[in-house]
Amino acid sequence: MAGPKAFAAAILLSLLVAAPAKAQTPLTEGIQIGLSTDNVSITAGFSGADLTIFGSLENPDPLVARQGRYDVIVVLEGPPKPVVVRRKDRVLGVWVNLDSETFENVPVSYSVATTRPLQDITEPNSYKQLSLGASNLYMQPADAGDNPATIEEFTAALRERKGAAGLYSENVGGVQFLSQNLFRATVRLAPNVPVGTHKARAFLFKSGLFIKESSAQLEIRKSGFEQSIFRVAHDYSFLYGVFAISLAMLTGWLGRLIFRKD
Amino acid sequence: MGIYLPIAEISVNVFVLLAMGAAVGFLSGMFGVGGGFLITPLLIFYNIPPAIAVATGANQVIASSVSGVLSHMKRGTLDFKLGGVLLAGGIIGSTAGIYVFAFLRRLGQLDLFISLLYVVLLGTVGGLMLVESINALRATRSGAAPVLKKSGQHNWIHRLPLKMRFRASKLFVSVIPVLGLGAGIGFLSSIMGVGGGFIMVPALIYLLKVPTNVVIGTSLFQIIFTSAYTTLVHATTNQTVDVVLAFLLMAGGVAGAQYGAKAGQRLRGEQLRALLALLVLAVAIRLAIDLFVTPPNLYSLSSASLN
């Protein structure tokens, strides 16, 4: 199993060249994150892990930094997929899936790490504008003409289910400044983390104002015997079926040879 | 010991699955049925997604049927011609079943439909068997001679056209009910992941008047091919056959079946049938309860890429 070390991302130091002595106007701040590897392999026994992402601020204002008014939010977002949310209702006493709502481009997973609780960093409105945070993430209904109340209800259910599955998580305090420039973010990879291209994004806030965003890509794939079977089942499904049948026939025949009692 | 199932995408305990396979194999050997109707609900109780439980159940049924057919071939209690016609019907029914399966899955009603079919079929078959075996037990206790069904009796089925002669079964009957029966079983096989022996056997005996000694062998023979076909189609259209899961069940199953067959010889027929009936009813009741109990989560998510 891949230990946390395998996920350790490289430190991407911004150029800490001594600022020119005569610089009067503060340069605009920037943010950078870096990953030591662009792909992570997890094995079948994977039971979740923490992924550490290092990053740095560019041109931070020392005064603001000292007062702790820089905030960083790091998100690891899984590949977007369409999702159907269904609601069960009682029909003649039996629970039946009745209403449903389809959403497009829903990130399969969404793991957030922040310096402070989200509500302390900035206004709810700016989260909405940035579509940032599991509870602010914009879920795009496939049919925008549906009743807004229904869409709202199913959006809430979608977030709740994703959270319950551990796929949408928040790690308050998961981003820590190691120095004025350097920070470390710890995002959770759920045991059922989906494979595919994940996007790591870092958002920089200064005194509650959004300054800049930076992103990097990370490929998560499963490795090992089980994954080969999964791939064969999807890519060569006919041969896979023939194999499954042959295996069953062989097992039946061998079973009779070995255990026969008549 | 945990193992990760590649298709079901969950971790399970190897020994639980081996034991499950062995227990069902034991019962199937004892009662002469494939055991698919027990494996699939058990997998569902064990949190395997129903779509995968069904496809994998069909795969597992092949192994137990092969193992059973071999002993019937040795004894010559197998009508290949009757099995062939049943099979032709089975392929048609199974193909139709696969389309219905994929359609229901897209609608989000597959799980419900599988449970309902199980409750109705197992409830009916289990109930009828229980009544029949209790009557038989009473009759033997009171000392009355058991009433034998006369195989020469004709019913409406024997008046249908397109008659065909099945020598091994000493039968001259229309192919329409044979094909129809095969198609019905094939349909159930692809939707429920069962071989269908628990319906096929009584249908062959009571409807077509096939002699009891060739019924089980012939039924198993056609089940091998219907299940193989079902497995193949599920593998190619739905990618829901989990070969690791199937293998664990089979390994336990083939071992259990041979011991079960031996244990079955020590019990009397009507006692055996009463026990099987109780078992079938218990599974049906358990599935029925799940339909009515308020689920912990009313909302469920599923991928929408199945269009």
Distance CA B201, CA B90 (A): 15
Distance CA B113, CA B132 (A): 28
Helix (H) or strand (E) holding A100: strand A94-107
| pLDDT of B56 | 92
| Domains of chain A by residue range | 4-223, 225-262
Contact status of B135 with chain A (Cβ, < 8 Å): no
Instruction: Look at residue A211 and give its three-state secondary structure.
Output: strand
Question: What is the DSSP pairing of strand A209-222 with strand A39-42?
Answer: parallel
Q: A82-135, pLDDT tens digit by residue?
A: 899 998 888 888 888 888 888 988 998 999 999 989 888 888 888 888 888 888
Q: A107-120, pLDDT tens digit by residue?
A: 989 999 999 898 88
ipTM for the whole complex: 0.82
Pair A178, A172: CB distance under 8 Å: no
Pair B280, B198: CB distance under 8 Å: yes
CB < 8 Å to A96, chain B: 109, 112
Q: A210-235, pLDDT tens digit by residue?
A: 888 999 988 888 777 878 888 888 89
The answer to whether the pTM exceeds 0.90 is no
| pLDDT of A204 | 92
Kindly give the confidence (pLDDT) of every residue in chain B, 307 residues in length, as a single tens digit, with 9 standing for 90 and above. 778 888 887 778 889 999 999 988 888 777 767 778 888 888 988 888 888 998 998 898 888 888 878 877 887 778 888 889 999 999 999 899 988 988 888 888 888 888 898 899 889 888 988 898 888 888 877 765 555 444 445 566 667 777 777 777 777 778 888 899 899 988 988 888 777 877 888 788 777 888 777 888 888 888 888 889 989 988 998 888 999 999 999 988 888 877 877 777 777 777 777 888 898 899 899 889 888 888 888 888 887 654 3
CB < 8 Å to B302, chain A: 83-84, 86
Residues 270-299 of B with CB under 8 A from A: 291-295, 297-299
Minimum Cα–Cα distance from B7: chain A residue: A230
Proportion of chain A above pLDDT 90, given as a percent: 18
Residues 236-265 of B with CB under 8 A from A: 236, 239, 241, 243-244, 246-247, 250-251, 253-255, 257-259, 261-262
Distance CA B271, CA A212 (A): 77
Nearest CB to A240 within list B235, B297, B299: B235
| pLDDT of A180 | 85
Give the dihedral of Cα atoms B98, A228, A225, B38; nearest 10 deg. 0
